[in-house]
């Protein structure tokens, strides 16, 4: 009987899973019956040959991020994430619908959400600033940074320490620039994983966990910037707008959809200005975009 060892999943590759055990990276296969593992998973494994192991058990997760897969299925992208940083900028213009979507997912998945306004070296846009006040009033922390000018990176690093984080946001907002600023030797580390797992360049498209030199872990997932509303129900979407929560229970009907429903406390709060109209309008838009099946 070989002994069970504890490991941390660094990356799930085509040919196997890169698992960190005692500071070394070992290429592992999973037991056939085991569920799919993801970067960030804590596992129990056995060594089967030199540098090779087998995952025997996946420990319970604190959180799981999934992306849509074939049909209505989902695939795990990252496990045990403590916080998602939603990155945006004024160029490309800030997509508030996408921000709300991430925030709704976090609210339902036991993951903290924080906002990063990158490219703060560029001119301020008034419309964006107004929306930001709204998010801050809802309790979402906001970091203004510039990856280009290395501004605000230290403050960001402090918030990253002792936690597992991931950056999300539309393409072009500067996620890779920020990741490179935080992990200067990222390429070297990626190459190390590739060499050990003999996986070649594909590694760069799989979600990968990096230990940050100044503390904390960052899961870089270049291929999956957008998680979609994978797995959220209509009720969960409404719950995902955290300011709706205290009103939802006061809606007249407990199957209220918060549209034109009679006695909807959410809509009343919007009419009174307690809930931001733009947030409510985006809720309606996201609701329409939800997959129906």
The minimum distance between CB 259 and Zn ion, in angstroms, equals 8
Closest CB to ligand GDP among 92 and 215? 92
Which positions ≥6 away from 282 have C-beta within 8 Å?
96, 97, 100
The answer to whether 12 contacts Zn ion (rule: CB under 5 A) is no
Residue 16 to residue 26: CA distance in whole angstroms: 10
Closest CB to ligand GDP among 89 and 193? 89
Residue 191 to residue 69: CA distance in whole angstroms: 28
The minimum distance between CB 202 and ligand GDP, in angstroms, equals 18
The minimum distance between CB 135 and ligand GDP, in angstroms, equals 19
The answer to whether 101 contacts ligand GDP (rule: CB under 6 A) is no
Contact 234, 108 (CB under 8 A): no
The minimum distance between CB 117 and ligand GDP, in angstroms, equals 10
The answer to whether 7 contacts ligand GDP (rule: CB under 6 A) is no
The answer to whether 242 contacts ligand GDP (rule: CB under 6 A) is no
Q: From residue 260, give the alpha-carbon distance in Å to each of 23, 32, 257, 263, 284.
A: 57, 49, 8, 9, 11
Partner from ligand GDP, Zn ion, none contacting 264, C-beta within 5 to 8 A by type:
Zn ion
Q: From residue 40, give the alpha-carbon distance in Å to each of 63, 108, 118, 284, 290.
A: 10, 19, 26, 34, 28
Partner from Zn ion, ligand GDP, none contacting 258, C-beta within 5 to 8 A by type:
Zn ion
Which positions ≥6 away from 163 have C-beta within 8 Å?
82, 83, 216, 217
Cross-strand partners of 65: 78
Choice from 54, 199, 258, 282 touching Zn ion (CB under 5 A) = 258
The span of 43-51, 129-137, 168-176, 236-244 binding ligand GDP (CB under 6 A) equals 168-176
Exposure string for 239-252, b = 16+ CB within 10 A, e = fewer: bbbbbbeebbeebe
Check whether the bond before 11 is cis (ω within 30° of 0).
no
- Tokens standing for residue 130: 């107004």
Partner from ligand GDP, Zn ion, none contacting 279, C-beta within 5 to 8 A by type:
none
Site residues for ligand GDP, 188-207, by CB under 6 A, read none
Q: From residue 291, give the alpha-carbon distance in Å to each of 33, 60, 103, 224, 234.
A: 30, 29, 18, 19, 10
Partner from ligand GDP, Zn ion, none contacting 118, C-beta within 5 to 8 A by type:
ligand GDP
The span of 85-93, 115-123, 176-184, 262-270 binding Zn ion (CB under 5 A) equals 262-270
The answer to whether 269 contacts Zn ion (rule: CB under 5 A) is no
Closest CB to Zn ion among 188 and 254? 254
Cα R_g (the chain), whole angstroms? 21
Closest CB to Zn ion among 147 and 266? 266
Q: Binding residues for Zn ion, per CB under 5 A?
A: 251, 256, 258, 264, 266
Q: List interacting residues with ligand GDP (CB under 6 A).
A: 118-119, 121-122, 146-148, 171-177
């Amino acid at each position: 009987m070989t002994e069970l060892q504890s490991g941390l999943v660094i990356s799930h590759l085509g040919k196997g899973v890169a698992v960190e055990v005692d500071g070394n990276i070992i290429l592992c296969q999973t037991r056939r019956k085991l569920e799919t593992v993801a970067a960030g998973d804590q596992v129990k494994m056995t060594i089967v040959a030199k540098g090779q192991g087998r995952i025997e058990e996946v420990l319970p997760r604190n959180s799981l991020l999934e992306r849509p897969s074939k049909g209505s299925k989902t695939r795990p992208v990252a496990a045990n994430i403590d916080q998602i940083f939603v990155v945006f900028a004024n160029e490309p213009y800030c997509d508030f619908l996408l921000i709300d979507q991430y925030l709704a997912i976090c609210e339902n998945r036991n993951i903290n959400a924080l906002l990063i306004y990158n490219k703060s070296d560029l001119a301020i846009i008034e419309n964006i600033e107004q929306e930001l006040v709204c998010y801050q009033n809802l309790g979402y922390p906001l970091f203004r940074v510039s990856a280009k000018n290395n501004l605000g990176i230290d403050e960001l690093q402090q918030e990253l320490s002792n936690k597992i984080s991931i950056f999300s946001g539309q393409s072009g907002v500067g996620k890779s620039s920020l990741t490179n600023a935080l992990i200067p030797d990222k390429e070297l580390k990626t190459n190390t994983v590739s060499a050990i797992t003999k996986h070649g360049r594909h590694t760069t498209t799989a979600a990968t966990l990096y230990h940050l030199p100044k503390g904390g872990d960052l899961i870089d997932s270049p291929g999956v910037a957008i998680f979609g509303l994978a797995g959220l129900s209509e009720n969960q979407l409404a719950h995902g707008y955290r300011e709706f929560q205290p009103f939802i229970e006061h809606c007249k009907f407990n199957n209220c959809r918060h549209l034109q429903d009679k006695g909807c406390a959410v809509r009343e709060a919007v009419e009174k200005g307690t809930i931001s109209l733009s947030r409510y309008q985006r809720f309606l838009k996201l609701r329409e975009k939800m997959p129906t099946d």
